[in-house]
Structure 1
Amino acid sequence: MNIYMTAGTFDFLKRMENMYPNEKMVTMINENGALLLHETMGKTKFNQPRRYEVFESVGEIKKEGLAVMNHVSVTDEGRPVFEHQCKGEAGNLKSTPGLMALRLLRPLSTNTYVFLTVWETEVYYQGWQNSTSFFKIDQNNIIGSQQKVFTSAPYVSKYSITE
């Protein structure tokens, strides 16, 4: 399974989503603009997307909720350790209240992974953030690693998913 993302205006991306009703596409928006996510086993309909391979998946991404994306740039040497750690965390998250979907995305053309979670509401996401099970992505979380794993500081982007 692959996920492709492209950015643009909400209206333009929503029209693109509506042009392909048989494709699994979701338009999201935040204060910086809009994003269209395309999840497929086939090829994307986008011209120049950000391309990812899904290496862990929980739930279904629906056309509602809060999407939170943790963007993490990882060195080539650090990829196996990082992926192993993330898979473990994904397993722990499966039964978290309010979590609708999770995708761990391996980049196909860059070094930036995306840890995508979709929540029923912001309240559920904040509840998880304040819990003891919250997975903070940082150098200290990579168990037993003596090597440099990250190439830059991780960052988070949040999007509202609405019809």
Structure 2
Amino acid sequence: MYMYISSHNIHEQFPEAAHLPEVISMRHDGDVRYVMEIDEMLPVDIRSQHTFSYEVLDSGGRVGGHFAVLNNIPVTADGRSAFEQRFMNRARKVEEEPGFVGIRVLRPLDDDTYVIMTLWEGEQDFKAWQESQAYSHAHRKRHTEEGIDVQQPSIFPRPSFVKTFTVDM
């Protein structure tokens, strides 16, 4: 499974892509991103410099809801295996949270930044998750000797960043 996040709607940019699945649009302060999930990799001629390409490593739920959180995490080439193992062995508690819609753990195909995308019915559901025991459990190793964030040498070349969006279906 693959996911594409673009600042351009692939259907509008490439009329020959009409056979591809519909895209969802996400908005943040006037910034629009289009998201498409598809079983096969898009041909290079349809992808553009405005499109980020990912392989879906892990998923739960569906793409939808009304609020998306994209945690963008740069990872060194040497750290990819450890990082991916961490997410493949995640607690999977988020899927049980009220308002949870979906999660996608995305491996970058063209750069070094992984994306952990969670989708929610609303922003208040995401905020409730952040205050929950399940969230504390999922992040309990952060900043400890067992945590991936304190391993040396660091597998993170730059700080991660989070961006939130409202989702238009």
Tell me the TM-score normalized by structure 1: 0.83
Equivalences for residues 1-163 of structure 1 within 5 A: 1-8=1-8, 13=9, 16=12, 20=18, 23-44=21-42, 45-48=46-49, 49-62=51-64, 64-89=65-90, 91-134=92-135, 135=138, 140=144, 141-142=147-148, 145-163=151-169
Q: In 1, Cα distance between the equivalents of 2:87 and 2:129?
A: 16
Q: In 1, Cα distance between the equivalents of 2:91 and 2:38?
A: 21
Gap runs ≥5 in structure 2 = none
CA deviation digits over 1:68-109, x for unaligned, max 9?
Answer: 000000111111111111223362322122110100000011
Gap runs ≥5 in structure 1 = none
CA deviation digits over 1:9-52, x for unaligned, max 9?
Answer: xxxx49739x7475141111111510001111234454331110
Q: In 2, Cα distance between the equivalents of 1:68 and 1:132?
A: 19
Hey, which bits of structure 1, 4+ residues long, moved more than 6 A?
A: none
Alpha-carbon contact 1:3-1:53 (below 8 Å) kept: yes
CA deviation digits over 1:92-132, x for unaligned, max 9?
Answer: 32212211010000001111000000001111100111123
Pairwise CA RMSD: 2.6
Alpha-carbon contact 1:78-1:147 (below 8 Å) kept: no
The structure whose Rg is larger is 2
Cα displacement (A) at 1:139: 6.1
